[in-house]
Each structure stands twice: as C-alpha cells, then as structure tokens.
Amino acid sequence: MMKAVALTVAILASGTILASAQDRVIIDVPGVKVTPPRVDIERRDRPVEKRVIETDGRGRGGCETKSVTRSEPGETKTVTKERCD
C-alpha cells in the first residue's frame, strides 16, 4: 500500500510539472526601432595665405617689406610691415 501511495504521488507530481510546461506561451513582440538624427557637417575652405618679402637691395642698411595676403570666401585682408635699419 505504501508503494501505491508513493507511486500515485509521483505520477501526480510529474503530471503537474509537465502540465505547467505546456501552459507557457511565448509571445515575440518586435522592438521599437530608433533612428539616430541626421547631422550635417559644413566644411569650410581653408583660407589662402600669400607671403611676399621685398628688399631694396642695399644690404644691411636697407629696408625690408613683408606683405601677407589672406583670402577667405567673401573677404580678403592684406597686412604690410616695413622694417628699415
């Protein structure tokens, strides 16, 4: 009789474990897709620099003129320096 009770308990326990495994339903829900915002980068052209050095040819006692012209889109700037010894 003890064997019969133990066998009945084992059968009932295994039946409930198997039944609970069959009751599970897996639902696959697609995730939300997030697209990153678009970022536009404006590239600027580098300014163009032109350097000119002029001497009057007198050697040590002469004058030296340096001119730097910087050109950017829409703007041109020239700086001139003169040095005389």
Q: What is the pLDDT of residues 2-32, one digit of tens each?
A: 888 888 888 877 766 655 555 677 788 888 8
Are 55 and 63 in contact by the 8 Å Cβ rule? The answer is: yes
What is the SS3 assignment for 45? coil
- How many Å apart are CA 61 and CA 3, to the nearest integer? 125
**How do residues 43-81 score in pLDDT, each as one tens digit?**
877 788 899 888 876 666 678 889 999 988 788 999 999
Q: Is 7 inside any structural domain?
A: no
Q: Is 80 inside any structural domain?
A: yes
Q: Is 35 inside any structural domain?
A: no
The reported pTM is: 0.41
Q: Is 73 inside any structural domain?
A: yes
Averaged pLDDT score across all residues of the chain: 80
Range of the domain at 53: 46-85
Q: How many domains does the chain contain in total?
A: 1
